[in-house]
Structure 1
Amino acid sequence: MVVAYLRSDMNDDLSRKGVLVHEWLEPTGGSENVFEVMASVFPETPIVTPWNNAPGRFSPARVRETSLAQTPLRHSKPAAALALPFVWRSKALAASAEWALISSHLFAHHLRVAPDATKLVYVHTPARYIWSPELDPRGAALSARAAAAPLKWIDRKRAREASSIAANSRFVRDRVRRHWQRDAEVIYPPVAVLDVRRSADEEAWQHAADGDVVAGLPEEFLLGVSRFVSYKRLDLVIEAGVATGLPVVIAGGGPEEDAIRSLADGASVDVRIVQRPSSAVLHALYKRATALVFPAVEDFGIVPVEAMAVGTPVIGVGAGGLLETVSHEETGYLLEEFDREGLQRAVRAVRELPRDVISASADRFSDAAFRSALGGWVDSIVPQASATRA
């Protein structure tokens, strides 16, 4: 068993105030981006995380790592997953905090707090590995299946410890009710719609090191943006291009890159891979695309909202978070299946959609909207937390 601790010289800094908690800190990732905004709402509150692989995100003095950071598990999330339920139960992590605000998509909500402390949980998703393996094939691994039954029991038990829960979408709220048997508020995550829009309008890509990518784009193309992992279904983005005869641009990176490149090489249309684009180039890709094709079933889906911020319509699956962010035949087109006829119909439809309407629809998911909703939720339960808010 891995025993977690905080260095004793940092433990007193938690004082009798609050602590912010996240599953782990990495350079990229949707939940990390949400947590960064969350942390900016409470800028003086210390952060606890199993490991910090993104030292540039926060002041080093603010982040407290557990002993897991000193092991190879910090570089293997699937392996670390089995240790984390034990790590979060260490008494040292938040023993002196009056309240804890936890950002959870795996087991961070298992955090042990003092008996009289308030525990607030912002849920990106109940752990897909154990609760929804149909949405994440990694849950089909033998080790994940073997651990699912006992982990479900303990996961539900820890969820009952929360003073209050907020979910990042109605889709996730419904799963919280079903899996944890708890109710939850809905607070949509922050999307940097103004920054994306400004960057695209100012054509910031011209000053980016990888700006030549934009200069060589085809006049029309379908865009796919995500990590290169199987459940993101980037193969269907390529199929959309084949079905409609449009070129395809796929932006991102990850372990399935070789498989994606193999599919691209065999496609009957031009498929370009843009590996880990800069923010400026990504924003330019959004703006120039005929449509963003987003086949994955996501809990919320930040990428579609970023695309809509610059007026680009979304073609996606009519399930999950897209049902809350994309309005069918108004800001995009939602399909039951990604078949040839449906994709052709979708592309014809989105070409006619007014881009100004699409752009305006993204504003309800802005940073400002999230900050207001999050701060109001925390203040309503922990009034003293308002003194630490930005």
Structure 2
Amino acid sequence: MKVAVVHEWLEHYAGSERVLAQILRCFPQADVFAIVDFLPEDERSFLKGHKITTSFIQKLPFVRKHFRNYLQLMPLAVEQFDLTSYDLVISSNHAVAKGVLTGPKQVHVSYVHSPMRYAWDLQAQYLRESGLEYGMKSLYVRWLLHKMRLWDANSANGVDQFLANSSYIARRIAKTYRREALVVPPPVAIDDFTPGQGARDGFLVVSRFVPYKRVELIVQAFREMPQHKLTVIGAGTNASLVVKAADGAPNITILPPVPYATLIEFMRSARAMIFAAEEDFGITMVEAQACGTPVIAYGEGGAHDIFSSTSSAPCTGILFETQSVESIVAALDNFETWERHLTPALCRINALRFSEASFRKHFMDAVNMTLATAGYGPVNDAPHW
């Protein structure tokens, strides 16, 4: 079976690239396609020498720094990939990858990190945060996003099976494309995050300082609870807002991003990690659990998948109902009541459900089911899965 994997773009090794790495472990013989490839040499090892076929956008002016400005050309670009010789096409989609053209004898499985949030339900927020609420440029961007929505909805017809990284994203796929998706949680490098042996003290936030993360709410809540220590690690456009929210409170420490090994030590030594964002999934929550650390999180989005009790994974997180200071304060009080039950061993058990090996198994199960529905036999098991 000849396999093609279509990725959006290669710029940095981040969340969607971690998924791509595991897909390529399932299909090491696959050919890889991407809109553009500017991945640094020191971040390419996960590609295992795969040659990347890029689109015509790769050669356009100023593309290295400004390829996102060519969004209006990306639907056309992804449609120009010639995939006619492939039996199975796998797209890793958060923008346009699922729009590749396939024929009736080909099977197309699309792993969706999220439908285009800035084009659909978060358009108003995107325009507001980009300073594009008014003016001629705003009118152009609104028109462009309208055209992108039309194309995005239509291109969903070429997908045989959608896979979603959480039940939250599955609901967004149903709303956006009117299609059912199977949930396959993303891979987390569980082995990199292990419980520590030392004492735990204080609470921890690790996040980009951007509007939807709502880090300032957590900081404001701890300013009202001087008996609790909070360490906040991150950087971003909202940094001044986070610092202002702390208002010099002695129980709150704000740090810039730290080295990977140091970050893990912070996770291992915290009483709990706190998240106030509505996440598509929430990989950092699972990394915290792998370190044996409980989580206090806003109870929307992917947090429901991570902290739903099952026979094999008891609930090891405290969820709060609203993105408000009052709700976070109440969650801290609730955590103190249940803290002794949220043991490092139970947190670790919960995290193991989201390992890279678990992803590969569930991903291959979904692919084989789709192939069977299309009349193909299953892809045979192999040791590297």
Give the TM-score normalised by the residue count of structure 1. 0.81
Cα pair 1:26 1:32 within 8 Å, conserved: no
The partner residue of 2:111 within 119, 122, 133 is 122
CA RMSD of aligned residues (A): 2.8
**Could you tell me which residue of structure 2 aligns to residue 64 of structure 1?**
53
The partner residue of 1:228 within 196, 201, 209 is 209
1:56-95 paired onto structure 2 within 5 Å: 56-57=43-44, 58-71=47-60, 72-76=62-66, 78-92=68-82, 94-95=83-84
**Could you tell me which residue of structure 1 aligns to residue 184 of structure 2?**
187
The partner residue of 1:148 within 142, 145, 148 is 145
> How high is the sequence identity, in percent, across the aligned residues?
28
Aligned-residue offset at 1:104:
0.4
State the alpha-carbon separation in 2 of the partners of residues 388 and 330 from structure 1: 33
- Confirm whether residue 301 of structure 1 aligns to residue 286 of structure 2: no
Pair 1:60–1:251, CA change in 2 (3 A): farther
State the alpha-carbon separation in 2 of the partners of residues 202 and 76 from structure 1: 46
Q: What residue ranges of structure 1 are gaps of 5+ in the alignment? A: 1-15, 204-217
Pair 1:338–1:180, CA change in 2 (3 A): closer
Cα pair 1:131 1:152 within 8 Å, conserved: yes
**Could you tell me which residue of structure 1 aligns to residue 355 of structure 2?**
366
Give the secondary-structure state (helix, strand or coil) at the position aligned to 2:118.
helix
Aligned-residue offset at 1:45:
1.2
**Could you tell me which residue of structure 2 aligns to residue 320 of structure 1?**
301
Moved more, 35-44 or 377-386: 377-386
Aligned-residue offset at 1:314:
1.4
Give the secondary-structure state (helix, strand or coil) at the position aligned to 2:158.
coil
Aligned-residue offset at 1:90:
0.6
**Could you tell me which residue of structure 2 aligns to residue 112 of structure 1?**
101
Pair 1:33–1:253, CA change in 2 (3 A): farther
Cα pair 2:220 2:246 within 8 Å, conserved: no
Letter in 2 for 1:358: C
Q: Deviation digits for residues 294-319 of structure 1, max 9, x if unmatched?
A: 11111111111111112212111111
Cα pair 1:48 1:64 within 8 Å, conserved: yes
- Confirm whether residue 164 of structure 1 aligns to residue 152 of structure 2: no
Aligned-residue offset at 1:122:
0.6
Q: Deviation digits for residues 190-241 of structure 1, max 9, x if unmatched?
A: 11223312xx5499xxxxxxxxxxxxxx973322223332222222232232
Moved more, 323-332 or 110-119: 323-332
Pair 1:341–1:154, CA change in 2 (3 A): closer
Aligned residues: 356
**Could you tell me which residue of structure 2 aligns to residue 248 of structure 1?**
230
The partner residue of 1:274 within 246, 256, 262 is 256
Give the secondary-structure state (helix, strand or coil) at the position aligned to 2:193.
helix
Cα pair 1:43 1:388 within 8 Å, conserved: no
State the alpha-carbon separation in 1 of the partners of residues 161 and 192 from structure 2: 31
Give the secondary-structure state (helix, strand or coil) at the position aligned to 2:79.
coil
Aligned-residue offset at 1:287:
1.3
State the alpha-carbon separation in 1 of the partners of residues 175 and 109 from structure 2: 19
Letter in 2 for 1:373: H
**Could you tell me which residue of structure 1 aligns to residue 135 of structure 2?**
none
Aligned-residue offset at 1:61:
4.3
Give the TM-score normalised by the residue count of structure 2. 0.82
**Could you tell me which residue of structure 2 aligns to residue 39 of structure 1?**
24
Pair 1:107–1:68, CA change in 2 (3 A): same
